[in-house]
Amino acid sequence: RCSMMNFRTKLLKLVTKDTLAITPFFREGATHRPHCLIINKNKEIVELQVPPVKVMEELAQVFDESLNHLMLSYSKKILCNQKSPIALLMVQKLKHHIFFPTLSTENPQNYWISFDNYIRHRYIPSLNMTNIQFVDGSSILVPASQSIIQRQITYAASLSNLIRHKESKNIGIFTI
């Protein structure tokens, strides 16, 4: 229990408003259990020896929620029937930061993309991948179609609008 609390504390320092993406990273020869790269602005990259979904699960636990419960809760609020984005309250600034999954959260190839730092995307048919561009000028390739990314951006925008509306009325997002 103590080591998990230390891990969550570490994550809260690593995953900030400057986080662009939380991505899988497969060591040579590994195909099923990825490590995780936390990619921040200014090309700061941190590798953790857990899959991205574990990072998101632990961040959700900061709110005493499970990742599945948060995703289900948000999906009902924004009428999203699958792969809901989630909003994490960044403790440092008391501001929500939205991440959306590119694939099923159980898929080891799933990336978590920061909606707040996303600018645009472009599908590359020859690679069957989508290039995601961020506010700092960097970009990454993700194994997801343009339609999946566009749908996730639409869901994330809905969640962002809901949060802004609730914050403007001083209503907590978790009490909707």
Structure tokens at 29: 């020869």
How far is the CA of 99 from the CAs of 21, 22, 67, 110, in angstroms? 8, 9, 12, 12
How far is the CA of 61 from the CAs of 5, 70, 141, 144, 153, in angstroms? 10, 10, 29, 27, 24
What average pLDDT values come out for the chain (176 residues) when binned by 10 residues? Answer: 70 88 84 85 91 88 76 75 65 68 87 94 94 96 93 89 72 45
The DSSP code sequence of 86-152 is EEEEETTTTEEEEEEESS-TTSTT--EEETTTEEEEEEETTTTEEEEEETTS-EEEESS-HHHHHHH
Structure tokens at 164: 């802004």
The β-bridge relationship of strands 95-101 and 35-40 is unpaired
The answer to whether residues 15 and 8 touch, using CB atoms and an 8 Å cutoff, is no
Give the pLDDT confidence score for residue 42 in this predicted structure: 86
d(CA 149, CA 10) in angstroms, rounded, equals: 29
The answer to whether residues 36 and 50 touch, using CB atoms and an 8 Å cutoff, is yes
C-alpha 49 chain-centroid distance: 17
The answer to whether residues 48 and 63 touch, using CB atoms and an 8 Å cutoff, is no
